[in-house]
Amino acid sequence: MNSNRNVYLKMRTLEEAREILFKAFSLAGDALASETVSVPDAVGRVLAEPVTAKLSSPNFHAAAMDGVAVRAESTFGAGETRPKELAIGKDAFYVNTGNVLPENTNAVIMIEHVNTLDESRIEIESSAFPWQNIRKMGEDIVTTELLFPRNHKVTPYCVGALLSGGVFSVSVRKKPEVLIIPTGSELVDWEKGDFDLRPGQVIESNSYVLGKLTESCGGAYMRHRILTDDVENIRQAAEDAVNSDFDMVLIDGGSSAGSEDYAKRVISELGEVLVHGVTIMPGKPVIIGKVRDKPVFGIPGYPVSAIIAFEQFVRPLICRMLGQPDVQRENVQVEPTRKIPSKLGVEEFLRVKLGIVGKRVVATPLPRGAGCITSITQADGIIRIPNHFEGLQEGKPVTAELLGPVSSLSDTIVVVGSHDNTLDILADELKARHCHLTLSSSHVGSMGGLMALKRGVCHLAGSHLLDAEDGSYNISYIKKYLPGIRVRLVNLVFREQGLIMAPGNPKRIRDIRDLSREDVSFINRQSGSGTRILLDYRLNQCNMDPQAIKGYENEEFTHMSVAVAVLSGTADVGLGIYAAAKALNLDFIPVVTEQYDLVIPEEHFESENIRILIEAINTGRFKKRVEALGGYSTEKTGCLMFDV
């Protein structure tokens, strides 16, 4: 193995890197060739030349109303007490909207203002004025006038103006052609249909994401076949690309500092590396290069890093090539739901879920890993934490860039608290029944949910907190931690909690007491979660010391994460719900049937969105889908359990 590594010799800030990029490629729209397309096919394209009208519109004087066309001067003096009589075919002519105005007429009297005397005579009770109810020739478009300037982006509305002006084809800029080269010996092509992945193999998706992002900003792309980590093959592909008609090359993967990251080496041997490493997160390993006056990028292999690198460097360059401004997202002031630390010296693109709670837009951070593609598919916005900040303070307003329309924020129901698989079903049912509504759930444990309610940063919380004194759920905790806040407790489900083991239960685990065995490793839920409280309660019942359990300190935030840890062999056993075990075909030993409720403050309970949510919970379809997961009872689903 080649042990040479690519060291980031001089990291650049985002501002510095963009300045270097735009200076190296000071491209105007004129740098691209043009082509002629029909007007309907020009929608979304950028005009390479100004377009002037070849016809006037309308190209004749036209009636703008149904009525009679007259010479205005012949109607002067008419009034209610002195009606004027006109002869059809001589003084007045019946016309419909859009008809050519008869010769020697210059006004139209609406048909409802005409009194018909007989087939040849009419009577009017008010005079007309010149050009009344008439569309004059050229009223909309005059021959030779400029319809659209160079670099105008054609919209569907433009089609009507162009065709009306007698323009049937236009010269547009050719789409910048981008070649995307996916690299990595671990990559598998999904189109070949082989999904029997071995450990270490990954389905290649970045090239398709980057390609569609290219199309979304006006470019066109071609995807190269996957190349393994072979520097000669990668170099040849890049060299062939810059010697062809491609305007830009993206080498996806291999941009970091590893011994088999070859993008920097390839670019430096073919041309010049302008930037290697930018102080942003995700996206730090991005490479900006120049080969034969063409931009060649080394795009990081992690999905979110690839997207951020594209949006910060590739997209604005494509826009410049087309003579267009870069995409500007709408901004909104938001309040983080908790303190968020960040590294000094790095500008972080934090993906967040957003929702309007009361009069505030609250922001809940999503996983920050560059490999978590769902952290951006689930995001409503991005908070950019400057490189001189150590993080964000809870409740202190900051700016978020919206990934969707601001109107969608008022249609988001924010639920924080304990994780349960039925929340996914509820989110889908809401979307199916009311397409404008979104359920945004954050999994911070039952206690975390109650604290979020206390801070007023969510509409409801999911909770299953066991009172060890009387065996009840949630009520005592609500009274203790939410004093003065009136809430309604609505049951979502009763569910089986138990021990999750690998298929066949190879460690022969029987009950909670086996967790202290030296040959058993455990995966825990986070402190404050209802599952953690249940575990500690059972350990106390068995007089067991938590420190005697190997892995007690290892935490996950969802039942599915616990199940995946067991499936992958990271742990032998975890405590979680039966539905998670069943979903991954794992073994399960029941421990307790527990009550999982939704805690809803009274101030939100009467809102339309919560009314719709409760309605969805009470449908037979929702209950049937929940029961199909296994380990759930819906006997009391939707019932008001307590008014605290």
> Which amino acid is residue 163, in one-letter code?
L
| 541/392 Cα distance (integer angstroms) | 41
pLDDT at residue number 613: 97
For residue 1, pLDDT beyond 70: no
pLDDT at residue number 199: 86
| 499/572 Cα distance (integer angstroms) | 10
Residue 92 tokens read as 């007045």
For the segment 179-202, the average pLDDT, to the nearest whole number, is: 89
> Which amino acid is residue 234, in one-letter code?
I
SS3 542: coil
For the segment 151-169, the average pLDDT, to the nearest whole number, is: 97
Among candidate residues 189, 232, 181, the one with its CA nearest the CA of residue 210: 181
Percentage of residues in the chain with pLDDT exceeding 90? Answer: 90
| 8/276 Cα distance (integer angstroms) | 6
Domain with CATH 3.40.190.290 in the chain: 446-643
Among candidate residues 470, 578, 564, 600, the one with its CA nearest the CA of residue 531: 578
| 58/364 Cα distance (integer angstroms) | 56
Percentage of residues in the chain with pLDDT exceeding 70? Answer: 97
Domain with CATH 2.40.340.10 in the chain: 331-404
Among candidate residues 475, 512, 482, the one with its CA nearest the CA of residue 591: 512
Three-state SS letters, 198-255? CCCCEECCHHHHHHHHHHHCCCEEEECCCECCCHHHHHHHHHHHHCCCCCEEEEECCC
| CATH of 34-57+140-173 among 3.10.20.310, 1.10.3720.10, 3.90.105.10, 3.40.50.720 | 3.90.105.10
Q: Which of 30-44, 98-112, 204-218 has the lowest mean pLDDT?
A: 30-44
Place of tokens 């924080």: 416
For residue 15, pLDDT beyond 50: yes
Among candidate residues 378, 493, 349, 529, the one with its CA nearest the CA of residue 440: 378
Residue 319 exposure: Cα atoms within 13 Å on the Cβ side: 16
Evaluate whether 172 touches 46 at the Cβ level (below 8 Å): yes
Domain with CATH 3.90.105.10 in the chain: 34-57+140-173
Own/partner contacts of 614-623, CB < 8 Å, gap of 24 or more, are 614/490, 614/638, 616/426, 616/429, 616/430, 616/433, 617/426, 617/490, 617/492, 619/429, 621/429, 622/425, 622/426, 622/429
Does the domain formed by 14-28+176-321 have CATH 3.40.980.10? yes
Sign of CA dihedral 276, 278, 283, 289: negative
pLDDT at residue number 31: 67
For the segment 449-470, the average pLDDT, to the nearest whole number, is: 94
Sign of CA dihedral 80, 82, 85, 90: negative
Evaluate whether 90 touches 121 at the Cβ level (below 8 Å): no
Does the domain formed by 331-404 have CATH 2.40.340.10? yes
Query: What residues contact residue 290 under an 8 Å CB cut-off, 6+ apart?
Result: 24, 25, 271, 272, 274, 296
Report residue 456 CA to chain centroid gap: 25
Instruction: Write phi, then psi, for 93 (nearest 5 degrees).
Output: -140, 125
Place of tokens 């689903």: 637
Average pLDDT over all residues of the chain: 94
| 125/114 Cα distance (integer angstroms) | 8
Evaluate whether 532 touches 526 at the Cβ level (below 8 Å): yes
Sign of CA dihedral 92, 95, 98, 100: negative
C-alpha angle 22-23-24 in degrees, rounded to nearest 5: 90
For the segment 346-363, the average pLDDT, to the nearest whole number, is: 95
pLDDT tens digits, one per residue of 120-136 = 999 999 999 999 999 99
- 88 strand-pairing partners: 92
Evaluate whether 318 touches 221 at the Cβ level (below 8 Å): no
Evaluate whether 499 touches 575 at the Cβ level (below 8 Å): yes
For residue 292, pLDDT beyond 80: yes
| 212/222 Cα distance (integer angstroms) | 10
SS3 274: strand
pLDDT at residue number 198: 86
Sign of CA dihedral 119, 125, 127, 128: negative
For the segment 286-299, the average pLDDT, to the nearest whole number, is: 97
C-alpha angle 532-534-537 in degrees, rounded to nearest 5: 110
CATH fold for the domain made of 62-135: Molybdopterin biosynthesis moeA protein; domain 3 (2.170.190)
Strand-strand pairing, 187-188 and 202-203: parallel
Query: What residues contact residue 190 under an 8 Å CB cut-off, 6+ apart?
Result: 203, 204, 205
pTM, rounded to two decimals: 0.88
DSSP class of residue 99 equals P
| 637/492 Cα distance (integer angstroms) | 5
Instruction: Write phi, then psi, for 439 (nearest 5 degrees).
Output: -100, 120
pLDDT at residue number 3: 44
pLDDT at residue number 26: 82
Q: pLDDT category, 642, cuts 50, 70, 90? A: confident
DSSP class of residue 540 equals H
For residue 66, pLDDT beyond 50: yes
For the segment 350-379, the average pLDDT, to the nearest whole number, is: 93
pLDDT at residue number 196: 80
| 593/577 Cα distance (integer angstroms) | 9
pLDDT at residue number 371: 87
| 575/585 Cα distance (integer angstroms) | 15
| 104/18 Cα distance (integer angstroms) | 66
| CATH of 446-643 among 3.40.640.10, 3.30.559.10, 3.90.550.60, 3.40.190.290 | 3.40.190.290
For residue 13, pLDDT beyond 70: yes
Query: What residues contact residue 257 under an 8 Å CB cut-off, 6+ apart?
Result: 5, 6, 7, 8, 285
pLDDT tens digits, one per residue of 224-278 = 999 999 999 999 999 999 999 999 999 999 877 666 679 999 999 999 999 999 9
Residue 431 tokens read as 């979307």
For the segment 552-575, the average pLDDT, to the nearest whole number, is: 96
Residue 498 tokens read as 């138990």
The Cα-based distances of 11 to 259, 266, 277, 284, 285 in angstroms read 19, 19, 5, 9, 9
| 540/534 Cα distance (integer angstroms) | 10
